[in-house]
Amino acid sequence: MSRYCVKCGKELRSEAVFCPHCGERVSYTGVTNSKWEAMSENCIGPCQMILKIFLYLMAGGLIFVCMLSGISALVIGGFFFYHFATTGYIFLPTFLASELGISTLCGVPLIFAGITVLFVALLLIAAAVTMIRALMARHKKHTAV
C-alpha cells in the first residue's frame, strides 16, 4: 500500500521519516493512503483561512454600519429633543410634509419621535457591541487551542 506526503502529495517509502521531495516530517497523522487525500489536505487550510478573512470582513462591515447608524440616530434624537426644549417644534422637509400632510412636528409627537429614535440608536449600538464581543470570544477561543 502506497503512502503519500500530506504537504506535497508525493509518494513516500514505507520507512521514510522525512519526505524526500519537500522535507516535511512524516508522522502517523502526516501520511495518507491516497494521493487525493494528501492533495485535499493541502487545500483545506488556505480555503478555511480565506473563509475566515471573508467572515471577519463581513462582520466588521456590519459592525461599522450598526455603529454609524446608531450614532446618526443619536444625533437625530438629540436634534428632536433640542428643538422640543427650545422652540417646541421643527419644520419637516418638503418631501415629508407632502407625504404626511403636515409641515411641522411639535409637542408629544416630537417627544415620541425623539424617544423612538434614541431607542433605535441604543438597539443598533447594542447589536454592534454584541457582535464585537462574539468576535472577540471566538478569536480568544481559537487562539487558546
Provide the residue ranges of all domains of the chain, joining segments of one domain with +. 1-33, 48-144
How confident is the model at residue 37, as a pLDDT?
A: 58
107 vs 110: CA distance, rounded Å: 5
102, amino acid identity: I
Query: How would residue 31 be classed by pLDDT, with cut points 50, 70 and 90?
Result: very low
pLDDT at 36 over 50: yes
DSSP 101: S
CA distances from 49 to 29, 72, 136 (A): 21, 34, 17
Q: What is the pTM of this model?
A: 0.56
- How much is the average pLDDT of 83-110? 82
Q: pLDDT for 107-139, tens place per residue?
A: 888 888 889 999 999 999 999 999 999 888 887
> Has residue 145 got a pLDDT over 60?
no
Question: Which of 21-25, 38-42, 73-77, 100-104 has the largest mean confidence?
Answer: 73-77
The mean per-residue pLDDT over the stretch 33-51 comes to: 63
Secondary structure class of 90 (helix, strand, coil): strand
What would the grid cell of residue 131 be? 457582535
Which range (25-29, 31-35, 95-99) has the least confidence?
31-35
Angle formed at CA 88 by CA 99 and CA 125, multiple of 5 degrees: 70
Query: 26: left (phi > 0), else alpha (psi -120 to 50), else beta?
Result: beta
Distance CA 128, CA 64 (A): 8
The pairing of strands 11-12 and 89-91 is: unpaired
User: What residue type is 139 in one-letter code?
Assistant: H
